[in-house]
Structure 1
Amino acid sequence: MTYHAKVIAGGKVVIPATIRRDLGIKDGDSLVVDRTDDGGVRLMTFEQSVRNAKAKARAIFGGDYTVDTFLKERRADWGEE
């Protein structure tokens, strides 16, 4: 479904209540604003942004690659293990 949002003074955008409720967005929540490749704007919750970053990392490094794995590899590179 498509909604309409208006930019008001100070560059503020009011997100329609239905979308806020559906996504669980509450007053004071942090949102991430991103430009898309086609010149659009994407608005995500902080949690969505983190999930997307984790998914990209899993795609690159594999599903079971952790910070501990990374640190173990770096220590091996530095001759610490």
Structure 2
Amino acid sequence: MTRIYVARLDIPPSVENKIRTKHSLTGDEVRAALVFRKDVQFKEDDHEAYGLRILAHATTRQGRQFLAVLYVVNTDEGVYRLGTAYAK
């Protein structure tokens, strides 16, 4: 398990729309579950097509577990971009 601290999570509008309509998750829920949290399990994944990304297993405040795919923007400042998120 990789230790990562997410200080800022950028969510593009297209991803926000996709996770809301397709996976019934909001950007606010995902952000609240990932930013400055110590209970998230992170795993680095070197995907053949998408390159290096971070898989984050987290839980919303309502207790709903989900998997988020994060892309590094700036590791020194803890900035990541959400690729997708879906309930487990």
Give the structure-2-normalised TM-score. 0.30
**With structure 1 as the length reference, what TM-score do the two structures score?**
0.32
Choose between structure 1 and 2: higher helix proportion: 1
Larger Cα Rg: Structure 1 or Structure 2?
A: 1
